[in-house]
Structure 1
């Protein structure tokens, strides 16, 4: 997720427990989605769509926190 901000993400994961939780949950959802799409985990289309929406919402929240960090630190 947001690989171009790898350095900031590393700092935020240590400095901000909420960000770390969002990041972890995003990765968990990504894993579930990949397993479902590859046929390794049974999910119907509605469940899969729900997971994708939740993952996107977490990514949006994390991105907003990254932008806030950049602004606060003049990066």
Structure 2
């Protein structure tokens, strides 16, 4: 487990400018990024025991974050 949040800019540094442009010009991507940010904050809060969860719940959050990150990466590559 990491105490460092998985921010999109850190996960995809090569797409920082593109992500900024898409957040402004593409409502779908903006929603995707906001949903990721919200989920990522929940994972980080659980991992740091700010908002503890049962282990299976935390694992589920991390899996959902990974799937969402994959979706964002695919979107970035396609657009």
TM-score (norm 1): 0.83
Rg (Cα) greater in structure: 1
1:35 aligns with 2:41: no
1:51 aligns with 2:52: no
How many residues align? The count is: 69
Gaps (5+ residues) in structure 2?
Answer: 1-7
Q: Give the structure 2 partner of residue 73 of structure 1.
A: none
Gaps (5+ residues) in structure 1?
Answer: 70-75
State the alpha-carbon separation in 1 of the partners of residues 24 and 57 from structure 2. 32
Give the CA deviation at 1:37: 0.9
Question: Deviating runs (4+, > 4 A) in structure 1?
Answer: none
Q: Give the structure 1 partner of residue 13 of structure 2.
A: 3
State the alpha-carbon separation in 2 of the partners of residues 11 and 58 from structure 1. 19
Give the CA deviation at 1:50: 1.0
TM-score (norm 2): 0.79
